[in-house]
Amino acid sequence: MQRGLSAELAFPERKRLMDLSLKNPNAMRFYKVCTLILFIAAWQSIDLINSELKFYNPLLIPSPFDIVKKASALWSTGALQKHILASVTRVALGVLMAFPPAVVLGIGIARSRTVEVIFEPLIELIRPIPPLAVLPMFILWFGIGELSKLVFIGFAAFYIIMTTVMLSAANIDVVLIRAARTLGINGWRFYTEIVFPAISPDLFVGVRLGLSAGFVVIVASEFIAADVGLGYMINYARAYFRVSDMFVGAFTIGIIGYSVNMVLVVVERRLFNWRINDER
């Protein structure tokens, strides 16, 4: 690993035992955890005060403690895991479905006038349509089973991945393209050995954003037609006025989305070390 120059490296005697300033990334991370805990603690104490003063209905807003208790109860019966697995699988498969056409069309539109003239008008016309607007049609076409949800998530992820790929492929450094052409790299080799690696860091970001979009829209499709999944769990809990369940469902989605993103960011740094710049 390369490291940027820092005052600590240049003047080790200056280094204090512990740097508690906001410039120290480790201290920064610690503070972020602290502020989060502080917010949760504040929420808990408001709940505590409310149990005395009753200034809002505690049934509508459970305390963090209630939510954790509910989550562990749902976990111990295996229900929570079942819903998580269902939703995560749908998002993963939906994004996987969107991936090949998004990459092919994104690269195609950016690098071939023929592909651009055929597909771009249609794609751009459909783009502004919110995925939710077409969900009822998808249900009519693909039934209320898994397929309609996968197509729906795929639809949402497709535009995000395709747009990232298109912008990236259109902005490949022209001198690299010229170098490839003068080295005799043509046809299929040009796409697999030059274009694909050149866009791969952006493609990775596109997939990350596509997954986030998948988690955003999954819930809607599970509201409408599903018998398992976090969206279903939330909607079902609403029918029975189980507010804690709803909170568990919502926070679970938040935690999953955050974790997936964090893992991918780490993978990204590893995979695309060749382009990471330490200066910023």
Partner 1 sequence: MEKAPKLRFDRVNMVFGRPNQPPVQVLKSISFDVGEGEFVCLLGPSGCGKSTILNIAAGLIEPSAGTVTASSRIVAGPGRDRGVVFQEYALFPWLTVRENVVLGAKSGTGKVDRVKVDHFLKVTGMYEHRDKYPKELSGGMKQRAAIARTLANDPEIILMDEPFGALDPYTREALQDQLVEIWSASRKTVLFVTHSVEEAAYLAGAVILLKAHPGELKAVIKNDVAWPRERASEELIGIERAIRRAERT
Binding site for partner 1 (CB under 8 A): 2, 173, 175-176, 178-185, 189, 193-194, 197-198, 200, 272-275, 277
Name the minimum Å distance from CB 202 to partner 1.
Answer: 12
- 84 versus 169: smaller Cβ distance to partner 1: 169
- 157 versus 165: smaller Cβ distance to partner 1: 165
Name the minimum Å distance from CB 120 to partner 1.
Answer: 21
Asked if residues 206 and 158 have their Cβ atoms less than 8 Å apart, the reply is: no
Residues sharing a CB contact under 8 Å with residue 84, sequence separation 6 or more, in sequence order: 230, 252, 256
Name the minimum Å distance from CB 175 to partner 1.
Answer: 5
- 20 versus 176: smaller Cβ distance to partner 1: 176
- 199 versus 237: smaller Cβ distance to partner 1: 199
Name the minimum Å distance from CB 173 to partner 1.
Answer: 8
- 227 versus 279: smaller Cβ distance to partner 1: 279
- 190 versus 251: smaller Cβ distance to partner 1: 190
Name the minimum Å distance from CB 268 to partner 1.
Answer: 14
Name the minimum Å distance from CB 177 to partner 1.
Answer: 9
The three-state DSSP-derived secondary structure of 34-77 is HHHHHHHHHHHHHHHHHHHHCCCCCCCCCCHHHHHHHHHHHHHH
Tell me whether residue 232 is exposed, middle or buried, using C-beta atoms within 10 angstroms of its C-beta: 0 to 12, 13 to 18, 19 or more: buried
C-alpha to C-alpha distance for 275 and 264, rounded to whole angstroms: 16
Name the minimum Å distance from CB 10 to partner 1.
Answer: 21
- 114 versus 277: smaller Cβ distance to partner 1: 277
